[in-house]
Amino acid sequence: MRIATCQYQGRRHVGLVSEDAASIALLPLDEAEARRGALALIERQASGTEAMPPAGERIALAEVRLEAPLPLPRRSIFCVGRNYRAHAKELSASVFKNNAADPEGWPIVFTKLPECVVGPQDEVRLPGEVSSQIDYEAELAMVIGKGGRNIARADALSHVFGYIIVNDVTARDVQMRHQQWDLGKSFDTFCPMGPWIVTADALDGARTRVRCWVNGELRQDGQTSDLIFDIPTLIETCSRGITLYPGDVIATGTPAGVGMGLVPPQYLKTGDVVRIEIDGLGQLSNRFI
């Protein structure tokens, strides 16, 4: 099932996208629920309420403007750093050489502020003088459907509602300057998300392909089977002593091929278009302005 949030006739709606991605069936949510996007359905399911009301009007997808499935996540997004072996290797000679993920240790986890989320086709604003080293990071992210604390790895997948695509846009110079990553990751518009949530019964997040193009040039191409810390381990780690709630988002890290890892580095500039595609999920395409 594909759950999308969109604008149609001046109002936010939540709907079910057809298998061919040609149309969307709008759900009869009240205005307060629709403002929260897909989070309203996730919380309905978690509370035992009927999660999916009967679908209503079906319209062409081209007639709506897709928004982030979670237009304002309930809190900061959990993000994982250096979680593909090849990506860790490409930054091993950079200033992040001391931040290498240890397969025998613990994942690197940081957060992005929820207010930086934008939609799958929205523009991303370059911050001008604040940073000149803006980078892309194509990522698979999971959306929690059933909350919990100290979730065991063996039970973790039962807590996943579905999956989305995230571009973990990063200001590298700010990230390096502060040595803590939140500021460089959380500029306004720095988290394109979408195009919809694919429910966990329709996608195997452990076996899919993540690709990223910049202006049509393939830069990243990775398999989630190559994650250093897999999805159950990430859920177990993020829930240690911290209650996860329905609607929480955990981004799993990015494959090799980021701009910082190229020789010489290639950072984003005005007019660049970053397109991210994950098999079984769809794509984001965002212009940087």
- What pLDDT, on the 0 to 100 scale, is given for residue 101? 53
Distance CA 135, CA 197 (A): 24
Maximum Cα interatomic distance, the chain, rounded to a whole number of Å: 54
- What pLDDT, on the 0 to 100 scale, is given for residue 90? 72
- What pLDDT, on the 0 to 100 scale, is given for residue 54? 82
Asked if residue 141 lies in contact with residue 162, where contact means CB atoms within 8 angstroms, the answer is no
173-210 per-residue burial string, b: 16 or more CB within 10 A, e: under 16: ebbeeeeebeebbbbebbbbbbbbbbbbeebebeebbb
- What pLDDT, on the 0 to 100 scale, is given for residue 75? 96
Distance CA 144, CA 156 (A): 10
Distance CA 246, CA 44 (A): 9
What are 208's two structure tokens? Answer: 């899919």
Q: What residue spans in the chain does CATH classification 3.90.850.10 cover?
A: 77-287
What are 280's two structure tokens? Answer: 């079984």
Q: What is the mean pLDDT of each run of 10 residues along the chain (289 residues)?
A: 97 96 95 95 88 84 98 96 80 56 78 98 96 97 98 98 98 88 94 98 97 98 96 98 98 97 96 98 98
Q: Residues 15, 190, 116, CA angle at the centre, nearest 5°?
A: 65
Asked if residue 64 lies in contact with residue 25, where contact means CB atoms within 8 angstroms, the answer is no
Q: Which residue do the tokens 């700010």 mark?
A: 174
Q: Which residue do the tokens 């009007």 mark?
A: 57
- What pLDDT, on the 0 to 100 scale, is given for residue 46? 93
Cβ neighbours of residue 125 under 8 Å, at least 6 residues apart?
187, 188, 189, 288, 289
Q: What pTM does this model have?
A: 0.94
| Domain 77-287 CATH superfamily | Fumarylacetoacetase-like, C-terminal domain (3.90.850.10)
Cβ neighbours of residue 96 under 8 Å, at least 6 residues apart?
82
Q: Which residue do the tokens 């900061």 mark?
A: 76
